[in-house]
Structure 1
Amino acid sequence: MILYFSGTGNSAYVAKRIGKMINDEVVHLFEKIKDNDFSPLQSKRPWVIVVPTYAWRIPRIVEYWLKNTPLQGNQDIYFVMTCGGSIGNAGKYIEKLCQNIKMNNRGCMEIIMPENYIAMFSTPTKEEASKIIDRAEKVIDLAAVCIKNGQSFKHPNVSFNDKISSSVINKLFYPLFVHAKKFYVLDDCISCGKCANVCPLHNIQLSNGKPVWGNQCTHCMACISRCPKEAIEYGKHSKGLPRYTCENVKKLEE
């Protein structure tokens, strides 16, 4: 069974591509995380977790869900992480997680996809995004073949900077940067409520038809990226930047 979490579609695309190649069930964790649903899941086939990279590790909300949700049946588990640049030393912390949840870690695969973290980095144009995804296809295929053949992913080379990024910087990143204080809405807002609907943590409420952010933000960028009117900004950084969502997901489903 393939379980994925995705704010802007990168991990959704990778999960569904792998699912088609190995003919396995694909489940979005959005509703389960949103509803605090920790009911056991059952699979006779290996588990595949597809997630974005948050500060060079898997998202904490996904890690919390995995620690609290029994994955029954097959005890092998693969991790596939999408990123804009690098997953750092995420594999070390995945190994610790697998020991914690008593699963057999079959490794972690890095797949570089278009940058979606508009709060800090520049997002690509449609043309740039398309080229990046084209380059990622071979790596997605490789991940699928390994899983289908029961092969573990190869251990990536880890640099000193990778180790620092996934340890020291990750610990500082969440309290210093992962908050919703800089989100605000423009007059272009049409009060459609989509931002609230796509938030995995019930962190957005509508007040007088306008979104108000709470204190549980995980920086998935779903609200700002999926707003149909591009009426949400993040401080000054997001101004003028294209809103990125993975259009290939729709093409895959056609």
Structure 2
Amino acid sequence: MKTKIFYFTGTGNSLSVARDISNELGGAELVSIPAVVDGHIETDDSDIGIVFPVYMWGIPNMVVDFVQKLKISSDQYVFAVTTCAGQPGETLVQLQKMLQKKGTDLHAGFAVRETANTIQEDNIFIKIAMLIERNSKITKSGKERLSEMVEVITNKKEHEPETSSVMLNKFGNFVYGMGMSRINTMGKFWADEKCSMCLNCQRICPSNNIEVVNDKPHWTQNCEFCQACIQWCPKEAIHIKNEDPKRRYHNPEIKVKDIMIR
């Protein structure tokens, strides 16, 4: 069995999960989605994994682009793991439908709980979702489910895409449809006087959205809203409206150099 795992990550949660699965599978190849999304994407590996975070109860734009470009055959086994702080909505069902249009399927889909990486205070949509799913959040992390996922993948078992309640799925689909079309312009970040111009933010940005203007980082309108720039800033010099300084976070098992692999 030869396995390749494609991953998209901002603060390291999805990379950490992908790395753990790779290690348990005996060293499956890890490939950064931002590193390949602009090229020809084809693999002859028998098993293909896709690991990424939930964005607004759906798939990140760059992962959508990746899946649309991916050359894949029906005899390849496809699994996916999505990381979320609450509920996945129909993220994995969305992925399944995309793959079915390409003549294949999502054979196994898992949703695991990881620490939230957004630095902004909970908005009205998050608060409504928390009311809908008050007692039924995804509770197990990637590490807690690692052996379960690897057993399914190793034996190429079918595992229905994990999803949320009907009510939350409808709400999540509404938010995703409304929000993701505007997400490229939502990253209205800025750097304050603490900025040392290390330009880590520019090097880790998956969409090359950061330029240098007047000796300061400047964000254009091609943002994936992955939070990498603000969460990895060593000086905590990057800001966004309605931020909560207590939410500075990046995965403790991942280093900034790992995120720079684009």
Contact 1:67–1:100 (CA under 8 A) maintained in structure 2: no
Q: Which residue of 2 aligns with 1:9?
A: 12
User: Which of 34, 38, 41 is residue 40 of structure 2 equivalent to?
Assistant: 38
Q: Secondary structure at the match of 1:197?
A: helix
Tell me, what secondary structure is at the counterpart of 1:6? coil
1:21 corresponds to which of 18, 21, 24 = 24
Instruction: Give the superposed CA RMSD.
Output: 2.4
Judged with a 3 Å threshold, the aligned counterparts in structure 2 of structure 1 residues 196 and 72 are, in CA distance, closer, same or farther, namely farther
Q: Aligned letter for 1:99?
A: Q
Matched ranges for 1:1-254 at <5 A: 1-23=4-26, 24-33=28-37, 36-43=38-45, 45-71=46-72, 74-121=75-122, 135-156=141-162, 158-176=164-182, 178-180=184-186, 182-235=188-241, 237-249=242-254
Q: Amino acid of the residue matched to residue 150 of structure 1?
A: K
Q: In the alignment, is the contact (CA less than 8 A) between 2:52 and 2:81 conserved in 1?
A: yes
Instruction: Tell me if structure 1 keeps the 8 A contact 2:119–2:244.
Output: no
Q: Confirm or deny: 8 A CA contact 1:111 1:140 kept in the other structure.
A: no
| Separation in 1, partners of 2:187, 2:9 | 22
Contact 2:83 2:113 in 1 (8 A): yes
For 1:174 and 1:52, the matched residues in 2 are separated by 14
Q: Normalising to structure 1: TM-score of the pair? A: 0.85
Distance in 1 separating the partners of 2:141 and 2:94: 27
Equivalent residues of 1:180, 1:214 under 8 A apart: no
Task: Please give the TM-score of this superposition, normalised by the length of structure 2.
Answer: 0.82
Residue 95 of structure 1 aligns to a residue in which SS? helix
Q: Distance in 1 between matches of 2:80 and 2:222?
A: 25
What is the distance in 2 between the residues matched to 1:73 and 1:177?
32
State the aligned residue count.
238
- CA distance 1:154–1:70, shift in 2 (3 Å): closer
Inter-partner Cα distance in structure 2 for 1:134 and 1:226: 25
Question: What is the identity percentage for the equivalent residue pairs of Structure 1 and Structure 2?
Answer: 26
- Provide structure 2 residue ranges, at least 5 long, that are not aligned to the other structure: 124-137
